[in-house]
Structure 1
Amino acid sequence: MTKTRNVLFLQSSSELYGSGKIILQVLRIYQSEGLYPIVILTGPGPISDELEKSGITFFIQNLGILRRKYLSPSGLHNRWQMNRKAYQFLNELDKKYEFELVYSNTLAVVVGAYWASQKRIPHIWHIHEILPGPRVLVSFLRRLLDKSTPAPVVVSEAVKKHWKSKLKIAKPRVIHNAIPYSEFFRDDYLPIEELNIDVDNLVITMIGRINPGKGQLFFVDIAKELHKTYPHCKFLMVGDPFPGYESIEESIENIIRDEGLSNTIFNLGFREDIPAILNATDIFVLPSILPDSFPTVILEAMAAAKPVVATASGGASEMVEEGLTGFIIPMGDVSAARNALSKLIKSVELRKSFGKAGRERVLREYSEENFVKETIDHLWRHLIKS
């Protein structure tokens, strides 16, 4: 019997946001190359459902994921304990599967890099983050990257620039995110009944998991400002909170209620019908207020032929062509957001022009075919060397 070539995948979240969608792409590519992925998830969720559909073996195990909320003495002690247990779990799993390669998705997963370096197994780290601090965390990750990962994948030039200046051995390689786009080309999705959107309304949408960096409260401030001049505009917010950031959602709901905006701003939570949401959208906004590496949702919005207004927060500045597919604005600047969005609100021709150019750009510069080609090349460079 031919021995299967097993690859261990460590996934930081079980949700189908940007990094989750990308790891599913990578898993399918590895399968197509004759490899056998074994995935470790931190808990059940939409990704586990997709893995079952694809016949991919997965396990649930606390991986001691690093989050900002753990950056305290007690929090770090908790993470050390969870990573120690995860390390032992990987040891037991390796006895059965004899892994040839370890793949860690996002810098929030650290146990795989350390385990792979100790076992002398090739390791790929897929970096989605720009981390300005704290210094001790950045220094720790830099040392672990240099020790474990000769060629980490980074999702944008912005991420590469950030980490390249810190690394002494590892050489980051840019592979831009890409997804299947066909479902975003349709324009025949039925209206979303619960929103009660009239044909005279103009819909402005943001999509992103609620956390301090994604800018949901900034988006609410933008909506409040635009509502004064453009009362026909409706504002959609899609995404649920990361565990520990429920207070941000509570603040959003309080503002909507206290300022009488319940018929203007709609907080929809997590949705699986993103193509339909974007089909109902006229303008897409990504209001990140912390570095955002390469937001997959911008690819989705451009594929749906929507103009994009995004903050200069990292990868968005590479993705959006200023004045051609959308506008780039400073982080947290309500006045700049109002000015950019007003131009699009006033001109249906400009919205169509930007949307058309955005779709052409995403298919030209961020094609799924190129993502597959680059990922396969990167994979075999690691396995051949091993």
Structure 2
Amino acid sequence: MKKLLLFSSSSSLYGSERGLLNLIEALYNRHKLIAVVPAKGELIEKIKRYYPEVEIKKLPLPVLALSYSPFYYFNLAVLSLLVLIYFIPFILNRKIDIICTNNLLLPVSALTAKIAKKKHIWFVREFFPYSLFNRILAGIVLKFSDEIIFQSYFIKKKIGITNRGKVIYEPLIENRYKLYERAAARKYFQLPGDKIIISLISRIHPNKGQYEFIKKFTDYFYEDNDVILLLAGDISFSSLRNMLYKRKILNFIRSAGNGKIIFKGFVAEIDKMISAVDICVFP
């Protein structure tokens, strides 16, 4: 039985966190698992509910982002130093065998593994819109990873790592999801029963392109009273850049003013949401 330390950049419950739950599902009862999460949230609740033997450590983590705030970068450096100071002795004292970083946004966990001389597995689930930034991150991933797992071939291509890494698509754990009767699901979310509903389900982030999507939606469907767009998701941590992007989206929805775009914020009952709509888009 191995001891694994699993780092997550968020305590929300979006794609990468569901990927972490899939990893825990695969390893549970076979290895000792310790999950490190930055705050209270739905992820902790899911782990406690389905995987009570997983040890949880709740600590602030330095999550990489493109931010407009100088304070963010100062805070990133301080938190990175604190993570190194805390986790290197922790890893050695607890005899951790493998460290897993659940997405691209936590390079400090890879550095921690390198200093502690432990095997490191990096799950790469995202990329940035700037090729130079992707090349820098690719160099970090190559230098500090023993194993690299990409969520898709497209992500692997955008990051620019061609000679290493495996592509493993995320499965859905079928017994955790169920389909609901559409009318009941729409009533639950207070959605109109006689409209075609397109849902945009994701955490809100400038790299996801929700604002661009809703602008195009209004261009094509403004005159069509039978189609509405439902935006489900929220920012996962409050960087100034993310907050401004969310405000931009909400201002656009208010200015449209015709009820064709509905903002629901974070939705935990994702299976019920999928049951309520006609088309799902996952950016």
TM-score by length of 2: 0.87
Aligned mate of 2:235, from 236, 241, 260: 241
Moved over 6 A (4+): none
Counterpart of 1:382 in structure 2 is none
Counterpart of 1:371 in structure 2 is none
Counterpart of 2:224 in structure 1 is 230
Contact 1:142–1:166 (Cα < 8 Å) also in 2: no
Aligned mate of 1:86, from 83, 87, 102: 83
Counterpart of 1:111 in structure 2 is 108
CA distance in 1, matches of 2:70, 2:254: 38
Aligned mate of 2:249, from 233, 252, 271: 252
Structure 1 segment 341-380 matched on structure 2, within 5 A = none
Q: 1:192 aligns to what SS in structure 2?
A: helix
Q: Go from structure 1 to structure 2 and tell me whether the alpha carbon gap of 1:84 and 1:207 turns closer, same or farther (over 3 Å shift).
A: same
Q: Go from structure 1 to structure 2 and tell me whether the alpha carbon gap of 1:87 and 1:116 turns closer, same or farther (over 3 Å shift).
A: same
Q: Residue type matched to 1:255 in 2?
A: F
Higher mean displacement: 275-284 or 215-224 = 215-224
Counterpart of 1:174 in structure 2 is 167
Q: Residue type matched to 2:142 in 1?
A: D
Give the CA deviation at 1:165.
4.4
CA distance in 1, matches of 2:102, 2:232: 23
Task: State yes or no: 1:271 paired with 2:267.
Answer: yes
Give the CA deviation at 1:280.
1.5
Q: Go from structure 1 to structure 2 and tell me whether the alpha carbon gap of 1:73 and 1:182 turns closer, same or farther (over 3 Å shift).
A: same
Q: Residue type matched to 1:173 in 2?
A: K
Give the CA deviation at 1:187.
4.1
Contact 2:88–2:115 (Cα < 8 Å) also in 1: no
Give the CA deviation at 1:73.
6.3
Aligned mate of 1:208, from 202, 220, 223: 202
CA distance in 1, matches of 2:83, 2:176: 37
Aligned mate of 1:280, from 251, 259, 276: 276
Counterpart of 1:26 in structure 2 is 23
Contact 2:135–2:160 (Cα < 8 Å) also in 1: no
CA distance in 2, matches of 1:259, 1:107: 35
Please give the per-residue CA displacement for 1:1-21, whole angstroms capped at 9, x wherever unaligned: xxx631111111111100000
Structure 1 segment 59-208 matched on structure 2, within 5 A = 59-69=57-67, 75-133=72-130, 135=132, 137-165=133-161, 171-181=164-174, 186-188=179-181, 190-193=184-187, 196-208=190-202
Q: Residue type matched to 1:129 in 2?
A: E
CA distance in 2, matches of 1:250, 1:48: 28
Contact 1:14–1:48 (Cα < 8 Å) also in 2: yes
Contact 2:204–2:235 (Cα < 8 Å) also in 1: yes
Q: Residue type matched to 1:147 in 2?
A: K
Q: Which has the larger radius of gyration?
A: 1
Contact 1:10–1:104 (Cα < 8 Å) also in 2: yes
CA distance in 1, matches of 2:244, 2:144: 37
CA distance in 1, matches of 2:190, 2:74: 49
CA distance in 2, matches of 1:268, 1:81: 35
Counterpart of 1:13 in structure 2 is 10
Task: State yes or no: 1:49 paired with 2:45.
Answer: yes
Q: CA RMSD in A?
A: 2.4
Q: 1:98 aligns to what SS in structure 2?
A: coil
Give the CA deviation at 1:88.
1.1
Q: Percent identity?
A: 22
CA distance in 1, matches of 2:271, 2:85: 41
Q: Residue type matched to 1:143 in 2?
A: G
Determine which structure has greater relative contact order: mean sequence separation of CA pairs < 8 Å that are 6+ residues apart, divided by chain length: 2
CA distance in 1, matches of 2:103, 2:170: 13
Q: 1:89 aligns to what SS in structure 2?
A: helix
TM-score by length of 1: 0.65
Please give the per-residue CA displacement for 1:255-291, whole angstroms capped at 9, x wherever unaligned: 3333322x322100001111111111112234x5xxx
Aligned mate of 2:214, from 199, 220, 228: 220
Give the CA deviation at 1:112.
1.7
Q: Residue type matched to 1:82 in 2?
A: L
